[in-house]
Each structure stands twice: as structure tokens, then as C-alpha cells.
């Protein structure tokens, strides 16, 4: 397949999956329940954090989290006290347990009370470093600055140790891309041209099958390699092809 043929193929697949029906079965459906900017950001971040494993279970646990936050994430965080935190004592999803949940909520409250919210931190990190990897490192430093248990840091990708940061890159795609269909486009301080591909097993396998990724590990070096390939096709919006690669890996591999 020539580069022109590959681009045409990926364009067609991305256009097919970048539609409203995709929202219904995807974790992004959880933040799509909301209209207030802060609600969308907060629940999107928590949803992205929990987005590994079976999609039905992800949706179930994220819906439970929304309910525990009284269906108003931002207002709940701003008013939360120790007695309200107790309701999360039994919230567990895979290795993300109650202590992790309590820290994430407490850290988000600090960030929205004193640091201008998630957009401010990610945007400051991007402007300081000039690239998404730097923004992710900056965010991690801020988010884990409120003295979590050591185990909790495992739930925030560490790109200094070559993590692919799939879930954080997906969260940034939701916040930055402005397709008006799936992604929200709420943040204007980070250009979508800077976004990196959310690399998971599905995306990595498809990319290798298509000859776009040669590195075997799904790590940050692979994220950079694959994103650079995708920028050749769509320099202003390389993360657009996440729809094609993920869709091919999840939906069409099931058909084979």
C-alpha cells in the first residue's frame, strides 16, 4: 500500500468512526452527559483514568462514580467534606481502589480551588515545555504534589519512564480536538497539531500491521514514532487517526 493509499484508507476509516454512534459505546459517553465545562473536564479525567479493561465495566463504574458525585462533579468537589468522602470508601475498579479515589478527588478539589483547574495546569505545562510530553510531566508533578500513597502514583502515567500515557493522551484528545461530534474542543491553549496518539494494544497492533510502527513496545518512543507518521497525513490534526486505528483494532478485528 502506497502512502497515498494508506492515507485514503485511514481517512475513510476515521470518518466512519468519528460519528455520534461511536459515543454511545465509548467511555467518552460519560462526559457527554454534561454541558458545564468544569463538569466535563472533571468527569472526563476520571473516566479516562479508569478506561482500561472491558468497556461495559468501564461505563458501569464511571456511571457509579457520577452517581456518587451527585451527578454534578464540579459542584460536588467544591463542597466536599470528610463525611461526603466516606461514600467512596468502597469504590474499587480493578487496581484503582478507595484510597486512590479519595486522593484523586482531593487533588482535583485543590486544583480547581487554587490552580485554575485542569486546563490551566496542562496548558501551563505545554507552554513551558512546548510539547505534550512536557505537559504530561508537568501535570503529573502538580497532581501528585498533595502527598498521595505511593501506590496512587501508578495511576498517573510517567512519561519520564517512557510510559505511553494512553489514557492521558486520550483525555487531551477529548479536551483539545474540536470536531463537534465526539471530542469537545474545550481547551484553546494547546493546538490539536501538538496532540499525540493514544497508544494502546489495539492501536499498536493495527499500526504495526499497516507498517506504520516498527517498535515492538507500546511505550512513549512508539507514541512519537507513530504520531510522526500520522502527522505526514494530517499535520494539523494527527490524533484524528485514533478513530481509524482504534476502530480497526476493536470493531473490525472482532469481525475477522
Segment 22-73, tens digit of pLDDT = 999 899 999 999 999 999 999 999 999 999 999 999 999 999 999 999 999 9
Q: At what angle do helices 220-233 and 3-17 cross, to 10 degrees?
A: 100
Using the predicted structure, report yes or no on whether residue 253 has a pLDDT greater than 70: no
% residues pLDDT > 90 (the chain): 93
Task: For the chain, give every domain's residue range.
Answer: 3-255
Is residue 73 within 8 A of residue 105, CB to CB? The reply is no
| pTM of the full structure | 0.96
The residues pairing with 96 across neighbouring beta strands, listed in sequence order, are: 93
What is the C-alpha to C-alpha distance for residues 190 and 107, in angstroms, rounded to an integer?
22
Segment 208-235, tens digit of pLDDT = 999 999 999 999 999 999 999 999 999 9
Alpha helices in 80-235 (DSSP H): 82-85, 98-114, 118-129, 132-143, 166-176, 201-209, 220-233
Using the predicted structure, report yes or no on whether residue 192 has a pLDDT greater than 80: yes
pLDDT of residue 84: 85
pLDDT of residue 237: 98
Q: Mean per-residue pLDDT for 180-189?
A: 97
Contacting residues for 65 by C-beta, under 8 A, at least 6 apart: 43, 46, 50, 91, 101
Is residue 30 within 8 A of residue 44, CB to CB? The reply is yes
Using the predicted structure, report yes or no on whether residue 254 has a pLDDT greater than 80: no
What is the C-alpha to C-alpha distance for residues 85 and 147, in angstroms, rounded to an integer?
17
Amino acid at each position: 500500500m502506497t502512502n497515498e493509499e494508506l492515507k485514503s484508507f485511514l481517512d475513510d476509516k476515521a470518518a466512519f468512526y468519528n460519528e455520534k454512534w461511536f459515543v454511545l459505546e465509548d467511555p467518552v459517553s460519560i462526559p457527554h452527559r454534561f454541558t458545564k465545562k468544569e463538569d466535563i473536564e472533571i468527569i472526563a479525567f476520571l473516566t479516562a483514568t479508569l478506561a482500561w479493561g472491558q468497556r461495559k465495566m468501564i461505563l458501569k463504574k464511571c456511571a457509579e462514580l457520577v452517581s456518587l458525585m451527585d451527578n454534578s462533579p464540579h459542584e460536588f468537589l467544591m463542597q466536599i467534606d470528610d463525611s461526603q468522602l466516606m461514600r467512596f470508601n468502597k469504590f474499587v475498579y480493578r487496581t484503582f481502589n478507595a484510597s486512590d479515589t479519595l486522593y484523586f478527588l482531593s487533588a482535583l478539589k485543590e486544583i480547581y480551588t487554587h490552580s485554575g483547574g485542569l486546563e490551566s495546569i496542562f496548558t501551563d505545562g505545554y507552554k513551558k515545555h512546548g510539547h505534550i510530553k512536557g505537559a504530561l510531566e508537568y501535570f503529573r508533578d502538580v497532581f501528585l504534589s498533595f502527598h498521595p500513597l505511593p501506590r496512587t502514583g501508578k495511576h498517573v502515567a510517567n512519561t519520564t519512564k517512557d510510559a505511553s500515557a494512553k489514557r492521558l493522551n486520550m483525555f487531551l484528545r477529548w479536551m483539545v480536538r474540536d470536531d463537534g461530534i465526539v471530542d469537545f474542543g474545550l481547551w484553546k491553549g494547546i493546538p490539536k497539531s501538538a496532540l499525540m496518539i493514544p497508544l494502546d494494544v489495539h492501536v499498536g497492533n493495527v499500526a504495526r500491521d499497516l507498517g506504520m510502527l516498527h517498535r515492538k513496545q507500546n511505550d512513549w518512543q512508539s507514541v512519537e514514532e507513530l504520531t510522526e507518521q500520522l502527522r505526514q497525513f494530517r499535520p494539523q490534526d494527527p490524533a484524528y487517526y485514533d478513530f481509524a486505528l482504534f476502530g480497526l483494532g476493536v470493531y473490525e478485528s472482532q469481525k475477522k
